[in-house]
Structure 1
Amino acid sequence: MDGPVEADTARLADAIAQELENSAVPVARVSAKDFLRGRSVRLEYGREDPDAVYDLYYDFPALRREVLDALLPDGRHTWLPRLRDPHTDRSVRTPPQPAPAGTVAVVDGRFLARDDIREAFDLVVHLDVSVNALGRRLPPEEAARVTGAWSRYLADAEPAKHADLVARFDHPDRPALRP
């Protein structure tokens, strides 16, 4: 579940995970925000640098290694729910979770249709949010850096072009699938 507003992607991913679990499908529910790089790396250029948000915030190699690749048929069949606590900037030291055969990873976050992570997913849902709606819906302390990073992401990665489903999400109470 790829989108600029973390609360939206998390809520939708939680709903999907719940539906899968209700159907007796084992689920590995993960948020990209739990796979951040260390504070010294992600904030090297300051809190407000949108390029740092896009290039340095998320540890996508760790997300692939510890969750997505681990759940492949030839993977190790255990996965890590979290890597780093963003508030303490420390490893959470969560023990690996067992993954029975057929476990589905449901992941939410920003920038999930980038070239370096997209091919690790079987299905990508991209939430298309206009710049005006983004400005209204992001927490004020995140607005400048996330809007700049998201604009770069849209130009560089073209997520709507690569996603399996695209939902117009200016109004979460009235989403609309785009053709």
Structure 2
Amino acid sequence: MTGRERLLSDLADWISSRMVPQRPTLVAIDGVDAAGKSSFSNLLAPMLGRAGVAIVQVSVDGFHNPAAVRHSRATVEPALSYYEDSFDYEAFRAHVLNPIHRSGTTVISPRVFDHESDSPDIADPVVVSDNTIVLVDGVFLGRPELAESWDHWVYLHSDRNAARARGVERDMRLFGDNTLDRYLSRYEPGQALYLAAVDPISNADIVIDNTDPEAPEFFRFS
């Protein structure tokens, strides 16, 4: 077993031993842009599945605001615009969080908007039983209007330069030559606002150093 497999196995055991009775268990996989959140969630899901529980994965990326909202003040306040205007949290609560916090089996919509095409894209409903772990990956998941919803909050830390390099490589197809500038002027300053306001390294339940996604390490393990 590799070090990464051992970490994922230990985390899966920790989560599965702390499931919430009578409703699905919500686990946030939080981190800065390109910290490796989606990939980490994809690796964690089958580890959790070994415990015999159902796993549902959701990304907050499926709840972006339209571009007109996301960029309404991006020119004058790019960092604040990214932190405050990127996501439709009302829709996220209505379609995911609120249904899950009801007892018993429920139905969620894991996606309502495609930010790449800038158009509504409502996913097929997903039935979620009480014996289910719902993994939600995304940025800003510890912000005040979401924090109380999570049963477990996992934060993936990454060195800024490593995350930036991964993000620029990943997003070049979307933004072309402007990709690096977006990280320097919008994404990283917006993340700095979040880190200062929420301090996830101190407050998350689990903190993992994912600077090298091939060799993650526990920074803090409750």
Distance 1:75 1:63 in 2: 20
Task: Tell whether 2:105 aligns with 1:65.
Answer: no
In the alignment, which residue of structure 1 is the partner of 2:19? none
In the alignment, which of 18, 25, 30 is matched to residue 58 of structure 2?
30
Q: CA RMSD in A?
A: 2.1
* Structure number with higher helix proportion: 2
In percent, how many aligned pairs have the same letter? 27
Unaligned runs of 5+ in 2: 1-28, 173-178
SS of residue in 1 equivalent to 2:36: helix
2:57 corresponds to which letter in structure 1?
R
In the alignment, which residue of structure 2 is the partner of 1:154? 195
In the alignment, which residue of structure 2 is the partner of 1:172? 213
Unaligned runs of 5+ in 1: none
The total of aligned residue pairs comes to: 179
Task: Tell whether 2:37 aligns with 1:9.
Answer: yes
* Structure number with higher strand proportion: 2
Contact 1:69 1:75 in 2 (8 A): no
TM-score, length-scaled by structure 1: 0.89
Contact 1:64 1:120 in 2 (8 A): no
**Structure of larger gyration radius:** 2
Distance 1:109 1:26 in 2: 21
In the alignment, which residue of structure 1 is the partner of 2:17? none
In the alignment, which residue of structure 2 is the partner of 1:20? 48
In the alignment, which of 105, 109, 115 is matched to residue 86 of structure 1?
115
In structure 2, relative to structure 1, the CA distance for the partners of 1:26 and 1:167 (3 Å cut) is same
Q: Deviations over 1:64-121 (max 9, x none)?
A: 2211221124377000110101122221132321112222210101011111111111
| TM alignment of 1:95-174, pairs within 5 A | 95-139=124-168, 141=179, 142-144=182-184, 145-174=186-215
